[in-house]
Chain A
Amino acid sequence: MIDTPTVDWLALSPTIALLAAAGVALLSALLAGWMRKSVAGIAALLGFVGAAVCAGVVFDESSTPEVLLEGTMVRDQLAALAQLVLGVTGAVVVLASWSERRRENHAEYYALLATAGAGMVFFVGADNLMTLFLGLEWFSLCLYILVAIDSERETSLEAGLKYLIVGGFGSSVLLFGSALVYGATSELSFPAIAAADASNDAFLYAGLAMILAGLAFKVSAAPFHMWTPDVYQGSPTSITGFMAAATKTAAFVVTLRVLVTAFPAQEDLWTVTVAVLAAISLVWGNLGALAQRDLKRILAYSSISHAGFMLMAIAAFSDRGAEALLYYLIPYSAMSVGAFAVVAARERELNAPVTLDSLAGMGWERPYYGVALWIFMLGMAGFPLTGGMFGKLFVFSAAYDAGDWWLVLLGVAATAVSLGYYLNVVRWLYMRSGAELRLAPAGGSPPRDPALGIAISASVVVTVGSFFVVQPILDVASDAAGSLPF
């Protein structure tokens, strides 16, 4: 008889909530058409909300980190905070997808969304290389499908294929790296890897390099980012939002966790590397975005540059850096989801991909969406009155504190360049009248879409709210960062 391991259900509760929701959603495929959509959607929504609530409880309960199931996962405030963000993000994405023009597959769509959410929620708690890899594949596989789910659009399929293949390539690298690290230390769990004495082992370093590359791929840091624009552009818009916000959150939290818990001894090497990756991302992302016309593509490049900022925080390798990263993720997630939600709204109105031209005059015709997009753009650019500013501030402080002043300067320069495209969006929103352009909508009222409105409002509230309510968020982030052994 084998000992049944004790399972900490509380730690798993966010995951389970989402898996349950996924199950319900999947089963709704059996229902009649109209019910299918609402049942699946509501199930997913409840799943994400439930996950967020559970994560809140977990956060409250886990003031000291607890390693579970033979070191395969950990229950701590870092994971809980990430789960909370993921839950809320997912809920917003569900709302934003509500009136997507999809004729079928509603059940599968929401089921996969919830499953992907579950994967991420699990992923952020992974505490060994195996769960790390599996968690990663778990949500990645879901995303591959979700990206390609609008299979009536060729671009969706193309994006899916690209994501799948490049993603598979990336995970292979990650896996191979994990294997090397395993070989060097004969350990899989992060703290054990750190504890193992292999400080000068070639396997370990090669493995670390490959793990770093694999994770950099997921956070879409340059030069591992090249799939990002294509995939973001081709995916269904809500899914793009989900990827931009949730995937990044999950991947960044895990990157932070892996590097800090498993490789503290190699700190001098990976901090520099991460800093360099941050620099490349900043440069590439911002320059790339400048020449784009398609809004989703612009946002994709912008997400690359944001990855650069967040990597700066990781490169700081400090409490303050971790706090900065966790803070940054919150407004950033809200802004990305919100921005993609507005794109989705415009897309539905025009029934065409949203380019800059098709934004013309939108600010005046659809004042609410216009103002919201304006706020998101300002937030991404780091203007005050949005959390984006504090995000940048904290990241810069962390980097400066860590001595990376050159990175701060680069960040400043990158931000200046980024204004070129963020403000350009605002320019098209307000300073070109729709009447001048043929592409503009015929006027009339857009499809009523209260769910989308709620999603955007929620994003706006978080974006702006995180500016005014900094300290509480920072406290939470600080608690979460406290789970890591700095």
Chain B
Amino acid sequence: MMDGPDVGWYLIVAAILFGIGALGVMLRRSPLIVLLSLEIMLNAANLTLIAFARQQGDLDGQIFALAVMAVAAAEVAIGLGLIVAMARRRMLLDVDQASALRG
């Protein structure tokens, strides 16, 4: 028996968060904010994992979430590295401008 809301409510929060993150990726032009949006999506997934872990009383979900955190951190690190490299090449930090590769 859980105190407070059902796991379902957490899941709804997670789902909305995932949607917000996805919207961020799809709408924003600044790669930095896109990166942040990705983080939000990963975190939404994490919340889902943890909620299910709680629901099932199974620790695997939490472990998974922990690993995801590391991965998310790594992704941010690499993303930032890229953005810095781009900035040094004096490239515009705008994903809409990064379209030399097309067709």
Contacts and interface: CB of A to CB of B under 8 A. Distances in A.
A463 to B, nearest CB: 28
A176 B18 contact: yes
Contacts of A175: 42, 45, 68
B75 A141 contact: yes
Given A134-B71, A148-B85, A176 B103 contact: no
B30 to A, nearest CB: 11
Contact of B78 (A145, A157, A297): A145
A396 B56 CA distance: 44
A100 interface: no
Given A130-B64, A172-B38, A180 B48 contact: yes
A134 B67 contact: yes
A229 B42 contact: no
For the complex of A and B, 10 pairs with smallest distance between CB atoms: A183-B52, A230-B101, A186-B56, A172-B41, A179-B48, A175-B45, A168-B38, A158-B98, A176-B45, A137-B71
A183 B55 contact: yes
A233 B58 CA distance: 44
A176 B98 contact: no
A251 B58 CA distance: 28
Contacts of B25: 165, 169
Contact of B82 (A148, A188, A229, A297): A148
B64 A172 contact: no
A229 B48 CA distance: 33
A452 to B, nearest CB: 25
Interface in B72-91: 74-75, 78-79, 81-83, 85-86, 89, 91
Band of interface residues on B: 35 or more
**Which label, helix, strand, loop or mixed, suits the secondary structure of the B interface?**
helix
Contacts of A277: none
B78 A155 contact: no
Contact of A292 (B38, B44, B103): B103
Nearest to A149: B85
Interface string A125-165: 00001100110010001001100100110110111111011
Nearest to B39: A168
7 contacts: A130-B67, A161-B82, A172-B38, A182-B49, A182-B64, A291-B103, A294-B103
A191 interface: no
A185 B81 CA distance: 38
B82 A157 contact: yes
Contacts of B101: 155, 158-159, 162, 229-231, 233-234
**Which label, helix, strand, loop or mixed, suits the secondary structure of the A interface?**
helix
A229 B86 contact: no
Band of interface residues on A: 35 or more
A158 B100 contact: yes
Interface in B26-51: 31, 34-35, 38, 41-42, 44-45, 48-49, 51
A164 B22 contact: no
Contacts of B13: none
Given A133-B68, A141-B75, A164 B44 contact: no
Contact of A161 (B38, B51, B86): B86
Given A144-B78, A297-B103, A176 B48 contact: yes
B58 to A, nearest CB: 5
Given A169-B25, A176-B45, A179-B45, A161 B60 contact: no
A188 B48 contact: no
A268 B86 CA distance: 46
B42 A172 contact: yes
Contacts of A141: 71, 74-75, 78
Contacts of B100: 154-155, 158
Given A130-B67, A175-B42, A186-B56, A162 B98 contact: yes
A165 B38 contact: yes
A131 to B, nearest CB: 9
A179 B85 contact: no
B7 to A, nearest CB: 9
B64 A188 contact: yes
